Structures are given as C-alpha cells and as structure tokens.
Amino acid sequence: MSENRFLTLIKENQGIIYKLVSIYANDADEKKDMYQEILLNAWKGWPAFRGDSKFSTWLYRISLNTLLTLRRKPSRIDYTDSLNDISPLTDSNSTYNDDSMRLRQAIRLLSETNRAIVSMHLDGYENSEIAEFMGISNNHVSVKLHRCKEEISNLLKR
C-alpha cells in the first residue's frame, strides 16, 4: 500500500524531478543517474515523510539536496557564458518551444545554487520559502534573484 502510494505521488509530481534534472544534467547519462539518485533518496526518505508539508515540497527538497551533493564526473563540470556553447539536452518528447528552451538553457548557465533559486522562483515559491529551503536570508534571496534576472536577461539578448 505504502509502495503504491509512493509511486502514485512520484508519478503525479515527477515533473519536478524532470525539470530539476534537466537544468543540472549535462548529458543524457547524467540525467539518468540524477533521476535514479533522486528516486532512491526519495524512496529511502519516504518512511520519514509525515505529510506535514505537501509531497511536492518534500520532493523538491529531496531533489535539490540530492542534486547539489552529488559527485559529478570531472568532465561534466563545465561553465560557459554563452547559450550557443551548451548542448540543448533535448528530450525525446519535448514540449518546449524555442523561448522556453532558451530560458532553460540560460538557467543552466547560472551557478548551481542560483539555478535552484531561479527554478523555485519560477515554480511560484515565495522568497521566504526559498530562503528556508536554501538556508539563507530573505534579503539574500531577493538580491540573488535580482542578479539572476539580470544575468538571464543579458544571456537572452546575446
């Protein structure tokens, strides 16, 4: 019963994992590794999920904590400053249009922690929630978001 409930909730919320994985993974293999690692951690953490928060919020936290602590293969840590320099990492049944694809690519050029902050912001989380998620102050979140918006805007203009 618990297993079925877990799988149902994951299926309902797997868009969170897809989305986060796609802004952190640099290739299809890494994407698969990250997805598996998140599922594993979610499954292991499932007995401790008490339902105090929404499942989507809980899964978001597990996913971000997993992605930011996962050891990357050396060649995969690659920072660049141009949208043209990174692979689009298209998905088999992608429903992205060009604009959202460019936005996602721009987000992938931000630092790892800023990617998390922007992603949460785009998903409608309040600054106070993002601050609590990340372990930083509200003010710091506002400053970071402001800078990220500028950075993304500059990237999209190029």
Partner 1 sequence: MNHLQDDELTSMLNIPAIGGVHSNNPLKLIRKSFFYNMMWATFFSCLYLVLFFIIDFWQIKAAIIILLIVHLWGILSAFRQYKSINFSISADQSVLEVLKAQHRSVKTWISAHLKMGLLIYPVSIAGSFMLGGAIGSSKSIEVFMSRPNVLLILIVLLIVLIPACHYLAKILIKHSFGKHLIVLQKNIDDLESEEV
**Which residues bind to partner 1, rule: CB under 8 A?**
3, 6-7, 10-11, 14-15, 17-19, 21-22, 31-33, 35-37, 39-41, 43-45, 48-49, 58, 61-62, 64-66, 68-72, 74, 77, 91-96, 100, 103-104, 111-114, 116, 122-123, 132-137, 139-140, 143
Nearer of residues 77 and 84 to partner 1, judged by Cβ: 77
What is the CB-side half-sphere exposure of residue 30 using CA atoms within 13 A? 18
Q: Give the position of tokens 């509200």.
A: 138
Distance, in Å, from the CA atom of 113 to the CA atom of 135, rounded to the nearest integer, reads: 11
Query: Least distance from C-beta 68 to partner 1, angstroms?
Result: 6
Distance, in Å, from the CA atom of 110 to the CA atom of 124, rounded to the nearest integer, reads: 19
What is the CB-side half-sphere exposure of residue 59 using CA atoms within 13 A? 23
Query: Least distance from C-beta 74 to partner 1, angstroms?
Result: 5
**Cα first-last separation, the chain:** 52
Nearer of residues 18 and 153 to partner 1, judged by Cβ: 18
Query: Least distance from C-beta 93 to partner 1, angstroms?
Result: 5
